[in-house]
Amino acid sequence: MLTFPNAKINIGLQVTERRPDGYHNLDTVFYPIPIHDALEVIVAEGADYDCRLHISGIDIEGDPDTNLVVRAYRLLAADYTLPSVDIYLHKHIPTGAGLGGGSADASYMLRLLNDMFSLGITTQQLETYAAKLGADCPFFITGIPVYATGIGNEFHPITLDLSGLYLVVVKPDVFVSTKEAYSMVDPEKPEVTLDKKITRPISEWRESISNDFEKGIFALHPELAGIKEKLYALGARYAAMSGSGSALFGLFESPIDNVEQHFEGCFCEQQRLPDSHRGASK
């Protein structure tokens, strides 16, 4: 069985406070976008292993045996009888980008196994399993826009439809440490939360919706600030960094011709946002 995990962007990100457990509470909006990986699972008849991961496309650092899709398989295998499988993951969503690719892969693995082997797991149960794999993983179970608080794991419904706009995502060859990103932010509770700001016209977002990570990260990596400026110069209605980076995105009324030429040396993809809240549909 084959499925296509989709990425997400953060529209705004405010670090509101440091928690006693060392984590930080956030104020952000997750929006699904039509940039995908490919994930396929095939039953491995007579195999002497539980699952084996085969990766193509963008390189992924680390031991494949600890990859989130493998962890997702073993999480369900602890509660359900699953056959041995081969997992084929083709990475297209950039890693270390703030686009949630790894979390999407894990959640789609849960969904795929549930469908493939008729496990009968409810959506709510899938979200509970996903939460064990990562704070934002449950978002990808349903994949509709949400206002997220807590450590990015408490989801609240919002009405936000960007369908018909053109999305440009740019990811340069820059690594941003999440730990370092947080170290440069002074948490502060906003006077107006993002679920209220997001209801304003997109033409007002530039002045009202920001990503707290940008100030410190742009100082360390001015090329990221340059990408954001170029997105606005090309006519973006709104542009920002996603999460703790290092991907940036712009929302446009119309497509940009030969957009890749403006961002040479970077991952660059342009997509029309679908006429659906589900960024995963293909």
Give the active site residues.
8, 136
At 3 the three-state DSSP class reads strand
* Chain centroid offset of residue 68 CA: 14
* Chain centroid offset of residue 243 CA: 8
CA distance 198 to 109: 31
Contact 190, 27 (CB under 8 A): yes
Contacts of 22 (CB under 8 A, 6+ apart): none
Contact 25, 16 (CB under 8 A): yes
Beta bridge partners of 269: 169
Contacts of 233 (CB under 8 A, 6+ apart): none
Contacts of 34 (CB under 8 A, 6+ apart): 6, 167, 271, 272, 273, 274, 279, 280, 281, 282
Nearest residue to 16 via CA among 182, 176, 264: 182
Contact 266, 130 (CB under 8 A): no
Beta bridge partners of 24: 18
